[in-house]
Amino acid sequence: MASTTGRCLCGAARYRLSEAPTGFGACHCGMCRRWTGGIELGVMVAADAIVWEADETMRTYRSSDWAERGFCATCGTSLFWRLTAPGPMQGMLSLGVGTLDDAEGLSFEMELCVDSKPESYAFAGDRTRMTAAEVAAMMSDAGGSA
């Protein structure tokens, strides 16, 4: 089972989740690719399900009209993507799987923006795969202004 605690590379930013995550998703969009330097792998976490035990070095970057991205200003770890647009999902995070102290036991549940993925790699296996247009529709259904 995955842990409920995690941190950035230098350890200055640390969090605790109210329950252990069970699954994660990947986002193939160009923004996530640039932000992580690779592929964004995140667990969905409700706004009230995370407590930051240390966040002095955490900074946020507003990457679009509906979201911001959190990172550690000391070590540069990509920590989370957070929905800022009003609506029932406001404040929801996609928390970087690699920041969990233990990510064993998670299931790989979905891939987002598959139409933005470079041809040179692909994840094997069957799971939900959504195009960028399908993701945008889901966000606007959730109250995002897109």
Q: Which of 2, 17, 43, 72 binds Zn ion (CB under 5 A)?
A: 72
Assign 3-class secondary structure to the chain.
Answer: CCCCEEECCCCCCEEEECCCCCEEEEECCHHHHHHHCCCEEEEEECHHHEEEEECCCEEEEECCCCEEEEEECCCCCEEEEEECCCCCCCCCEEEEHHHECCCCCCEEEEEECHHHCCCCCCCCCCCEECCHHHHHHHHHHCCCCC
Q: Does 135 bind Zn ion (CB under 5 A)?
A: no
- Closest separation in Å from C-beta 61 to Zn ion: 14
Measured from the CB atom, the residue of 106 and 135 that comes closer to Zn ion is 135
Q: Which of 44, 49, 75, 110 binds Zn ion (CB under 5 A)?
A: 75
The site for Zn ion (CB under 5 A) is made up of 8, 10, 12, 27, 29, 32, 72, 74-75
